[in-house]
Amino acid sequence: MIKPFFLVLLLLQSFRLLAQADQNLLFDKPATHFTESLPLGNGRLGAMVYGRTGQERIVLNEIAMWSGGVQNPNRPDAYQYLPTIQQLLQQEKNKEAQQLLQQHFTSAGKGSAGSRFGNYQILADLLLDWRDTTGAVTDYKRTLHLDSALAVTEWKRGGVTYREEVWVSYPQQVVLVRLHSNKAGALRFSVKLHRQERATFSASGNALTMQGQLDGGEGEAGIKFAAYLQALTPDGSVAANGNGLEVQGASDCLLILGAATDLNWPQVAQRGPAPLPVARKQVEAAAKMAWPVLLKNHVADFQKYYNRSALHLTGIATNVADQPTAQRLVRYAAGQPDAQLPALYYNFGRYLLISSSRPGGLPANLQGLWAEEYRTPWNGDYHLNINLQMNYWPAEVTGLPEMHQPLLDFTKELVAPGQKTAQAYYHSKGWVAHMFSTPWKFTAPGEDASWGSTLTGGAWLCQHLWQHYRFNPNKAYLKEIYPVLKGAAQFYTDILVEDPQTGWLATAPSNSPENTYITADGFAGQTTMGPAIDMQIGRELLGNTIEAAAILGVDKVWRDSLQQVKQRLAPNQVSARTGGVQEWLRDYKEAEPQHRHVSQLYGLYPYDEINPLDTPEMAAAARKTLELRGDAGTGWSRAWKINFWARLGDGDHALKMLQSLLMPAFTTQDGTYKMAGAGTYPNLFCAHPPFQIDGNFGATAAIAEMLLQSNGHHAVIRFLPALPTDQAWRSGSMKGLRARNGFVTAFSWHAGKLTEARITSTAGEECYVQVPEGMQVYGAGGKKLKVKTLGNGMVHFKTRRGRSYVLRYL
């Protein structure tokens, strides 16, 4: 018989293991590559920890490390060509339209290939050279603790246990590296900063300095940057040696690093204060604090956000906590159960958002915040034809609305430059952003007709402004964003043309993001009129603008006119050729039927005009589209598809897509690590390939979408709308998911059925909810609530701000 005391211990132990398996990234060796290193960040400063025991490398990032500068990317005479391009499209002369567009209707200059466009890049490497490297390393372990945002590397050498802890503090705005040896005075290493180009270094006393200036492009000077580091040790010595520091005879050492640039976001036409004094001040302030206080402040700040949500999948017990994360990916791909891996991925996504996006700062870019390159892929910019938006899909649903703020602000910042672009190209009112942007607020079309003409980038961003309102209803905020929506709607309605064949209104000229069509006469092109995605974004934008105006009681006449336009927009069509949702206004063939973008399903997710309840036929066509596109694709494409299947209520296919996203995107043949294909790297970064962070965020949102939805008519809250039948998912609990109209939920389920759900009202709005059979709604004090029924198990009731309502069985 086991004594109760031991039983409790055993239970505690297994809970600890379970908890670690969904909270920790684990490695049994140092990183050989960036995609094995551990990311940390405070929304501005980032660090990637390699955990090497010979030469330690920590890649440092600062989110404003952008080359290039403000420019006028608009062609002043572009508008003269607009009517002809539009007429050619109306006459089905797509080839001629595209040729003319390429000549006169792309960005001025080289666009994203130009040096003035700029690119995001590494700040520097922090290198620690360990002086005692003879003797074998044993007991090596490297852990990223998601719940405290702390990276820990431990190892033994020559009978000494070493420990390195790294965190990036938001409260103190510095990177901290704490080194410890269990033997007195055993720490012996050098510290230096390294940057391949455009920087100078110096060392003096216990401090290191780096200063530099990026290329502004086109002969202009770019932003200035600086880093400053102090090494503090209570028992050893620190001395400057060349451009580095030597630490000796210490058992404890704290490195404090500050960094800054003079990018003056959002007033980027001016420069901010000189960066070195800023960085230095931050370091000096932190140096006055004891490291346990620095750590405590950091953890408290981080957990304020991170602890809002928690997912536990308990359908099966799997004991994987002591397995390296890379191995877990490999095992999972081989079909071995790992109930905690999806929860770990979910937690990692929230972790990344808190770490890469903080109010007042720049939004998370294609790299989030983390890059080791001097020339990042796709400039590490803000792609507006899905990627930037996908970064923010989890923000509202997983309870991180503050982290949404950088994107909302960024959208507002595009209005002024976007008005100029709207004038130059379309002679229209309002504002437009095309397919990509930068901290320099680029809004012109891209330089290539085959992908650069998407003119709904800004309109898509407006969805985020509106959704923030839906999740956090607040009239003052609505008033603030209304002019942005209005400007986007003015532009959209201004540039519509009539399709002579149908009389519908359509955007022109545009692209269906990056896909190529083949016309009946064999022209393979991209320039088009009214791609499905543009029309869906338009219906959403106009619908939201009309609703906002109605709530605010403004612009009555204009909003009625918007309603008229909205009704005439080219509708969703089912392709006679494929049975899927038609991607272009005409039923063209796709050059690449399995193209990564599934733009014609924008209306299914993130927008919700296509859904099984309200539009069953179009939802069936959407399913067909997904079958035709297939389950492969780039990392972010797979993440998008999880969301699609979740919205279609197919939990099994959603899980299949999640598994496809979690496919190891690496090989370790002969012990050598190589990146390979799309999926997931050992540090759980998403592989486009290469690393691109959008897939991490897209899938985090998708996991939420599998467990709770509040879209469609009335934003009805539906629990477990796409729960997989897979055993691991059959039982579990989720806390902290949010629903539209200001509700916070917590719920649990067993054997695939909801057992209890709590809905807390933060805004006092009416609650619409789908109540499973046999369940009842209870209000304050456990009293059964009087609800109005709507059919299909849907009920609604009034709520009071701050009150909770519970769904349970009688």
Of the two residues 444 and 717, which places its CB atom closer to ligand FUC in the complex?
444
How is 77-108 classified by DSSP, letter by letter?
TGGGGHHHHHHHHHTT-HHHHHHHHHHHSS-S
Number of shown-chain residues binding ligand FUC (CB under 6 A): 12
Of the two residues 623 and 688, which places its CB atom closer to ligand FUC in the complex?
688
Site membership for ligand FUC, residue 514 (CB under 6 A): yes
Q: Which stretch binds ligand FUC (CB under 6 A): 121-129, 379-387, 440-448, 676-684?
A: 379-387
Residue with tokens 């000494």: 160
Cα separation, 149 vs 275, in Å, equals 26
Partners of residue 717 on adjacent β-strands: 769
Q: Which stretch binds ligand FUC (CB under 6 A): 204-212, 347-355, 377-385, 802-810?
A: 377-385
Q: Are 447 and 512 in contact (CB under 8 A)?
A: no
Instruction: State the minimum distance, in angstroms, from the CB of residue 526 to ligand FUC.
Output: 12
Instruction: State the minimum distance, in angstroms, from the CB of residue 147 to ligand FUC.
Output: 30
Instruction: State the minimum distance, in angstroms, from the CB of residue 663 to ligand FUC.
Output: 17
Partners of residue 152 on adjacent β-strands: 143, 165
Quickly list H helices, 372-453. 387-391, 393-397, 401-413, 415-426
Of the two residues 435 and 715, which places its CB atom closer to ligand FUC in the complex?
435
Of the two residues 29 and 638, which places its CB atom closer to ligand FUC in the complex?
638
Of the two residues 187 and 455, which places its CB atom closer to ligand FUC in the complex?
455
Q: Which stretch binds ligand FUC (CB under 6 A): 338-346, 383-391, 554-562, 602-610?
A: 383-391
Of the two residues 30 and 695, which places its CB atom closer to ligand FUC in the complex?
695
Of the two residues 517 and 636, which places its CB atom closer to ligand FUC in the complex?
636
Query: Which residues from 676-705 bind ligand FUC, rule CB under 6 A?
Result: 688, 692
Instruction: State the minimum distance, in angstroms, from the CB of residue 637 to ligand FUC.
Output: 7
Cα separation, 606 vs 358, in Å, equals 23
Helices 532-552, 475-494: axis angle to 10 degrees equals 140
Instruction: State the minimum distance, in angstroms, from the CB of residue 375 to ligand FUC.
Output: 14
Helices and strands in the chain: count of H runs, count of E runs: 19, 38
Query: Which residues from 525-544 bind ligand FUC, rule CB under 6 A?
Result: none
Site membership for ligand FUC, residue 590 (CB under 6 A): no
Q: Are 310 and 735 in contact (CB under 8 A)?
A: yes
Torsion from C-alpha of 535, 541, 546, 550, nearest 10 degrees: 160
Please pick, from the candidates 387, 454, 512, 710, the single residue that binds ligand FUC as defined by CB under 6 A: 387
Cα separation, 482 vs 473, in Å, equals 14
CA atoms within 13 A on the CB side of 759: 34
Partners of residue 443 on adjacent β-strands: none
Of the two residues 120 and 636, which places its CB atom closer to ligand FUC in the complex?
636
Of the two residues 314 and 389, which places its CB atom closer to ligand FUC in the complex?
389
Structure tokens given for 212: 């530099």
Of the two residues 212 and 633, which places its CB atom closer to ligand FUC in the complex?
633
Closest C-alpha among 48, 60, 685, 631 to residue 675: 685
Closest C-alpha among 427, 387, 431 to residue 407: 387
Cα separation, 719 vs 735, in Å, equals 12
Q: Which stretch binds ligand FUC (CB under 6 A): 314-322, 382-390, 412-420, 702-710?
A: 382-390
Site string for ligand FUC, 402-431 (x = CB under 6 A): ------------------------------
Helices 651-661, 635-647: axis angle to 10 degrees equals 170
Strand locations in 237-286 (E): 237-241, 244-250, 252-261
Q: Is 275 exposed, middle or buried (0-12, 13-18, 19+ CB in 10 A)?
A: buried
Of the two residues 379 and 625, which places its CB atom closer to ligand FUC in the complex?
379
Instruction: State the minimum distance, in angstroms, from the CB of residue 447 to ligand FUC.
Output: 13
Of the two residues 284 and 373, which places its CB atom closer to ligand FUC in the complex?
373
Query: Which residues from 455-494 bind ligand FUC, rule CB under 6 A?
Result: none
Instruction: State the minimum distance, in angstroms, from the CB of residue 366 to ligand FUC.
Output: 5
Of the two residues 276 and 693, which places its CB atom closer to ligand FUC in the complex?
693
Cα separation, 166 vs 51, in Å, equals 10
Instruction: State the minimum distance, in angstroms, from the CB of residue 597 to ligand FUC.
Output: 6
Query: Which residues from 730-749 bind ligand FUC, rule CB under 6 A?
Result: none
Please pick, from the candidates 353, 366, 403, 654, the single residue that binds ligand FUC as defined by CB under 6 A: 366
618-634 exposure pattern, b = at least 16 Cβ within 10 A, e = fewer: bbbbbbbbbeebebebb
Instruction: State the minimum distance, in angstroms, from the CB of residue 120 to ligand FUC.
Output: 12
Of the two residues 254 and 444, which places its CB atom closer to ligand FUC in the complex?
444
Of the two residues 309 and 696, which places its CB atom closer to ligand FUC in the complex?
696
Site string for ligand FUC, 594-623 (x = CB under 6 A): --xx--------------------------
Please pick, from the candidates 44, 157, 383, 638, the single residue that binds ligand FUC as defined by CB under 6 A: 383
Instruction: State the minimum distance, in angstroms, from the CB of residue 61 to ligand FUC.
Output: 18
Of the two residues 607 and 691, which places its CB atom closer to ligand FUC in the complex?
691
Instruction: State the minimum distance, in angstroms, from the CB of residue 377 to ligand FUC.
Output: 7
Q: Which stretch binds ligand FUC (CB under 6 A): 132-140, 260-268, 354-362, 378-386?
A: 378-386
Q: Which stretch binds ligand FUC (CB under 6 A): 90-98, 343-351, 381-389, 467-475?
A: 381-389
Instruction: State the minimum distance, in angstroms, from the CB of residue 643 to ligand FUC.
Output: 16
Instruction: State the minimum distance, in angstroms, from the CB of residue 533 to ligand FUC.
Output: 13
Cα separation, 52 vs 236, in Å, equals 22
Structure tokens given for 534: 């543009």
Q: Is 795 exposed, middle or buried (0-12, 13-18, 19+ CB in 10 A)?
A: buried
Pair type for strands 732-739 and 743-750: antiparallel
Cα separation, 765 vs 763, in Å, equals 5
Instruction: State the minimum distance, in angstroms, from the CB of residue 435 to ligand FUC.
Output: 7
Closest C-alpha among 1, 22, 23, 31 to residue 668: 31
Of the two residues 345 and 378, which places its CB atom closer to ligand FUC in the complex?
378
Of the two residues 178 and 596, which places its CB atom closer to ligand FUC in the complex?
596
Site membership for ligand FUC, residue 378 (CB under 6 A): yes
Query: Which residues from 629-668 bind ligand FUC, rule CB under 6 A?
Result: 634, 636
The CA–CA distances, whole Å, from 224 to 47, 168, 214, 356, 630 equal 20, 22, 6, 21, 46
CA 489 to chain centre: 26
Instruction: State the minimum distance, in angstroms, from the CB of residue 678 to ligand FUC.
Output: 10
Query: Which residues from 269-328 bind ligand FUC, rule CB under 6 A?
Result: none
Q: Measure the CA angle with vertex 523, ends 522 and 529; round to 5°.
A: 125
501-519 exposure pattern, b = at least 16 Cβ within 10 A, e = fewer: eeebbbbbbbbbbbbbbeb
Instruction: State the minimum distance, in angstroms, from the CB of residue 527 to ligand FUC.
Output: 17
Instruction: State the minimum distance, in angstroms, from the CB of residue 367 to ligand FUC.
Output: 10
Partners of residue 281 on adjacent β-strands: none
Instruction: State the minimum distance, in angstroms, from the CB of residue 362 to ligand FUC.
Output: 17
**Which residues here bind ligand FUC, judged by CB under 6 A?**
366, 378, 383, 385, 387, 514, 596-597, 634, 636, 688, 692
